[in-house]
């Protein structure tokens, strides 16, 4: 093997095809393209929403109209024509009552994705709320959860069944005025998940939802709301894959989490939307606002994300540590390849006394991609004894990619203690040769090193998810070397 061969091996991380690139032929009910008040009224009425929710949407829409697209991220975003998108699509058939009623095409799609919607799910102790396009297809184990008083259902269903809960918490963590995409989502959000864990209940199973974008030119605007009441606990998993598309697809989701006294929420994401091809054509634009409010004392939120997909990722799962002794955590692996761009990180806002936060971010860049960590740690004047530890590591594969860190610190209380560690490393030829000499191919060696680099974060994922995430990293690297 010549020197330039092995260089090109690393630099040509450029041939792996997206494994989940297929689309399902399902009739969908799509509103014509364009966005105006009429469209919003139509969405709201199709979903049979109460007046207050329509008003919420309209207020958000009017606010959004006055906003401009944010440009502060380290991203090159092509101009998006928001009037050329359709804002509502749902499988046409009525919501099925059992698996037998589910469109077989859809089931096949889930099968290809490896989403075990059926009995094996029960054995593995997981409930799945599968979302295709915008309407929930099936929610499992609702009854079992209901016995404990746990509510886990689609957002639309929650609006019908538990309007007072939704109204009480909707927009309290991410107001529609928060940012451009949050305003857009608040105006047009289609569906998503709703979780409520009552006082003192530890949710006995991992709650899981898989999102999937599946209609041409359909923006997807998910809205998730999780409320953990006093002393409650829940672990929530979000996994995503999308079919291959040439047209770029917009995704602007909101996740809001409210955590009361001594409650804990773990939110884990594996994101694998279509990243575009190796020339940078296509791929999902992912503009997500995720935020948790540690409202009660000694409450805790932990975000774990593995981001390998999307052409553009704009995402900052954050924690507002309002309750005294509350804890916020953010563990992230972001892998970018080809022409992918990721600008991701977190905000830790310390408001209460003795609040603690921990940030571990691992960025891996390959091909011609750009990978940025952007973080803010803010300690308010009244927050005594706040602690933060941040670690941002970047791993570069090849010499045409970029890794950037934008850590911001804003401290207004002298008792705060903040630590920040950062490193940038590159897989070097000697490491690869060492692996080769032991019989390990260059591709497998890169996989080993990447998984080793990301291990600290992958270990934070629930077991079955960790395996999936590891596979995903492997798939992302596959064929990209050699």
**Region binding other proteins by CB under 8 A among candidate stretches 70-78, 134-142, 431-439, 462-470:** 431-439
Q: Does 5 bind other proteins (CB under 8 A)?
A: yes
For residue 79, CA distances in Å to 33, 70, 189, 250 come to 17, 12, 21, 11
Q: Does 471 bind other proteins (CB under 8 A)?
A: no
x/- mask, other proteins, residues 365-394, rule CB under 8 A, reads ------------------------------
Q: Does 1 bind other proteins (CB under 8 A)?
A: yes
Question: In terms of Cα–Cα distance, which of 301, 289, 290 is closest to 259?
Answer: 301
**CA atoms of 346 and 376, how far apart (whole Å):** 6
**Would you say 5 or 55 has its CB closer to other proteins?**
5
Which one of 74, 426, 455, 471 is in contact with other proteins (CB under 8 A)?
A: 455
Q: Does 125 bind other proteins (CB under 8 A)?
A: no
CB of 400 to other proteins, least distance (A): 19
Largest CA distance in the chain: 69
Are 223 and 192 a contacting pair, CB within 8 Å?
yes
**Would you say 52 or 434 has its CB closer to other proteins?**
434
**Region binding other proteins by CB under 8 A among candidate stretches 3-11, 30-38, 42-50, 126-134:** 3-11
**Would you say 3 or 120 has its CB closer to other proteins?**
3
Which one of 433, 464, 471, 478 is in contact with other proteins (CB under 8 A)?
A: 433
Which one of 434, 459, 463, 467 is in contact with other proteins (CB under 8 A)?
A: 434
Q: Does 474 bind other proteins (CB under 8 A)?
A: no
Q: Does 439 bind other proteins (CB under 8 A)?
A: yes
Which one of 118, 444, 464, 478 is in contact with other proteins (CB under 8 A)?
A: 444
Q: Does 361 bind other proteins (CB under 8 A)?
A: no
Which one of 115, 207, 435, 481 is in contact with other proteins (CB under 8 A)?
A: 435
For residue 409, CA distances in Å to 347, 348, 388, 416, 423 come to 10, 10, 10, 11, 18
User: Quick one: CA dihedral 450, 474, 237, 24, positive or negative?
Assistant: positive
Are 345 and 318 a contacting pair, CB within 8 Å?
no
Judged by CB under 8 A, the chain residues 411 through 430 that form the site for other proteins are: 425, 429-430
Instruction: State the first-to-last Cα distance of the chain, in angstroms, to the nearest integer.
Output: 11
Q: Does 23 bind other proteins (CB under 8 A)?
A: no
Are 312 and 276 a contacting pair, CB within 8 Å?
no
CB of 423 to other proteins, least distance (A): 9
**Would you say 121 or 455 has its CB closer to other proteins?**
455
**CA atoms of 201 and 238, how far apart (whole Å):** 21
Q: Does 12 bind other proteins (CB under 8 A)?
A: no
Instruction: Name residues whose C-beta falls within 8 Å of residue 8's C-beta, 6 or more positions apart in sequence.
Output: none
Backbone angles phi, psi at 8, to 5 degrees: -70, -25
Q: Does 68 bind other proteins (CB under 8 A)?
A: no
Instruction: Name residues whose C-beta falls within 8 Å of residue 475's C-beta, 6 or more positions apart in sequence.
Output: 16, 19
Quick one: the chain helix, strand, coil %, rounded to 5?
Answer: 25, 35, 40
Chain residues binding other proteins by CB under 8 A are 1-3, 5-6, 425, 429-431, 433-442, 444, 448-449, 451-453, 455
């Amino acid at each position: 093997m010549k020197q330039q061969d092995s260089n090109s091996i690393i630099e040509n991380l450029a041939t792996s095809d997206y494994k989940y690139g297929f689309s399902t032929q399902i009739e969908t009910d799509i509103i014509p393209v364009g966005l105006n008040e009429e469209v919003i009224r139509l969405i709201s009425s199709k979903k049979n929403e109460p007046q207050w929710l329509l008003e919420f949407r309209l207020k958000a829409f009017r606010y959004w109209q006055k906003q401009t697209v944010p440009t502060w991220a380290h991203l090159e975003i092509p101009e998006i024509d928001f009037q050329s998108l359709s804002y509502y699509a749902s499988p046409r058939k009525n919501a099925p009552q059992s698996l037998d009623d589910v469109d077989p095409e859809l089931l096949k799609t889930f099968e290809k994705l490896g989403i075990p919607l059926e009995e094996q799910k029960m054995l593995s102790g997981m409930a799945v709320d599968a979302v295709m396009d915008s309407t929930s297809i099936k929610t499992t184990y609702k009854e079992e959860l209901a016995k404990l008083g746990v509510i886990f259902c689609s957002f639309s269903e929650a609006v019908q069944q538990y309007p007072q809960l939704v109204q009480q918490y909707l927009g309290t963590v991410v107001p529609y005025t928060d940012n451009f995409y949050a305003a857009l989502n608040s105006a047009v959000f289609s569906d998503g998940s709703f979780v409520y864990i009552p006082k003192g209940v530890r949710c006995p199973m991992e709650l899981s939802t898989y999102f999937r974008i599946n209609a041409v030119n359909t923006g997807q605007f998910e809205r998730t709301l999780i409320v953990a009441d006093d002393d409650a606990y829940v672990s929530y998993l979000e996994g995503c894959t999308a079919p291959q598309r040439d047209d770029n697809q917009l995704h602007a989701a909101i996740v809001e989490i409210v955590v009361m006294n001594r409650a804990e929420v773990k939110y884990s994401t594996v994101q694998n939307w279509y990243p575009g091809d190796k020339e940078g054509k296509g791929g999902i634009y992912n503009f997500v606002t995720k935020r948790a409010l540690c409202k009660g004392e000694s409450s805790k939120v932990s975000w774990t994300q593995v981001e390998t997909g999307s052409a553009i990722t704009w995402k900052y799962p954050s924690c507002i540590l309002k309750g005294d002794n509350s804890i916020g955590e953010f563990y992230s692996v972001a892998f970018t390849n080809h022409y992918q761009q990721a600008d991701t990180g977190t905000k830790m806002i310390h408001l209460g006394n003795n609040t603690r936060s921990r940030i571990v971010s691992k960025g891996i860049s390959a091909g011609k991609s750009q990978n940025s960590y952007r973080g803010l740690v803010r300690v308010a004047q009244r927050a005594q004894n706040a602690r933060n530890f941040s670690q941002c590591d970047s791993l570069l594969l090849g010499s045409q990619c970029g890794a950037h860190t934008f850590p911001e610190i804003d401290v207004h209380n002298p008792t705060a203690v903040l630590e920040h560690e950062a490193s940038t490393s590159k897989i070097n030829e000697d490491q690869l040769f060492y692996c080769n000499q032991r019989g390990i191919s260059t591709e497998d060696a890169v996989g080993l090193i990447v998984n080793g680099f990301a291990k600290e974060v992958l270990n934070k994922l629930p077991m079955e998810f960790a395996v999936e995430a590891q596979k995903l990293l492997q798939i992302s690297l596959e064929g990209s070397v050699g």
